[in-house]
Amino acid sequence: MKLWQKDKTSLKEVEQFTVGNDREMDLYLAAFDVLGSLAHIQMLQSIGLLTKNELPRLQAELKNIYNEIETGGFKLQDDVEDIHSQIELLLTQRLGDAGKKIHSARSRNDQVLVDIKLFLRNEIEELVKCIQPLFDLLQTQSEKYKEHLLPGYTHLQLAMPSSFGLWFGAYAESLVDDTITLRAAYDVVNKNPLGSAAGYGSSFPINRALTTKLLGFSDLNYNVVYAQMGRGKAERITAMALANVADTLGKLSMDACLYLNQNFGFISFPAELTTGSSIMPHKKNPDVFELIRSHCNRIKALPNEIMLMTTNLPSGYHRDLQLLKEHLFPAFGVLKDCIEMAKLLLANIEIRKDILADEKYKYLFSVEEVNKLVLQGMPFRDAYKKIGMDIESGKFSYQPAVHHTHEGSIGDLCTAEIKKQMQKVMDSFPFAFIHSAIDKLLY
């Protein structure tokens, strides 16, 4: 069954090619298609396109379909093109002509748009809630290991002393900014495109403000042409927010791979969290972090993929947009899996103590020695030159201790302040309001 089919069918090869993997991708949208329809039919009844008797029957059956989706009892029939066709077909089979009325005043274009926005809104919420425990763990480890120093590097050369408190805390604060970008993506996604139809509105006297309220959207995509232009843009902005989280996880994973390497030897993990070799019995490979790194690199490519797939498209709908789902939808699950695995390993990390006691790290303290001379009254450039000459002549001496007290340094991690930043972002998401709106639709 196809919503657009009249008296002729497409060539089988054309049908297979144009449908592609869309049926599989539509399963991500199934529950959200029902939610969109529940709001739409309530609006249709309010403007007289459904009777008062038809509305409760349609609502009850849509809720039955929603429960089938949630419990795993729903599937697309082999001869049905997409999720929208399947739900309309089920309603028609079960309720007769009332089921044929639900598509009044909308197109598959705005139907898909609202499904995608509801899906993205939900997935961003799940991701944000997944990030919070990782943030908390990083902060806990930052405080736990704040006294343990490790080398800091620039250009992968020894630079200055750092600490595990700084290392863990840096990635915690990075997640704050990543969550801010997710909040921005959420604002873009959380606007209602329903009622834009095929991108040019409807001659029916529809009430778009009503469906906006019913679905818990913060506002409308007002201009109906822009509502369609927003497809691809919302996905790209969301993908960029995912890429930011992925970048944080990828960099953390690369650090972990380096620090586990025997030439560094800063950290270790229980054997059951690493993998071995088929030939080398001593190996403990960081496969989990290597895979997180690779998965995250793929996610970082997503914004560019979406940008290129939508390049040079004029306004209006184009079938190119269908393929965006294949790239973006699975990325949420992959990223959440990466976060969970990172949490597992970081919760069981073992930190090597007294790393900087090794003399090979002595030049890390060169700046400390320069600063001591400056505090005694020597101009900085003179102090810099003296310590540099001492290093070159082999006369450099040092004390392996640091006394950093400013905000965000080894001695003042500002853990509480960073936590406040994250809490402020988390509190800004209107999750409770949206859940209340959706619950009213369903129950």
CA distance 58 to 64: 10
Instruction: Tell me the CB-side half-sphere exposure of residue 308, using CA atoms within 13 A.
Output: 5
In the numeric block, the tokens 């003042």 are attached to 412
User: Please, which residues have CB within 8 angstroms of residue 190's CB and are 6 or more apart in sequence?
Assistant: 117, 121, 217, 218, 219, 430, 434
Does the pLDDT of residue 303 top 80, yes or no? yes
Does the pLDDT of residue 11 top 80, yes or no? no
Average pLDDT over residues 238-253: 98
Give the residue from 337, 109, 108, 323 showing the smallest Cα distance to 235. 323
- For the stretch 190-243, pLDDT in tens is 999 999 999 999 999 999 999 999 999 999 999 999 999 999 999 999 999 999
Identify the DSSP state of 275. Answer: B
Q: What average pLDDT is seen over the chain?
A: 94
- The neighbouring-strand residues paired with 350 are 268
Domains of the chain: 12-100 (1.10.275.10), 108-147+163-195+223-356+413-430 (1.20.200.10), 358-412 (no CATH)
User: Could you tell me the pLDDT band of residue 4, with boundaries at 50, 70 and 90?
Assistant: very low
- For the stretch 412-440, pLDDT in tens is 999 999 999 999 999 999 999 999 999 99
* Least confident residue range of 255-269, 274-288, 296-310: 274-288
User: Could you tell me the pLDDT band of residue 79, with boundaries at 50, 70 and 90?
Assistant: confident
Dihedrals φ, ψ of 161, to 5°?
-65, 140
What is the dihedral angle through the alpha carbons of 172, 174, 179, 181, rounded to the nearest 10 degrees?
180
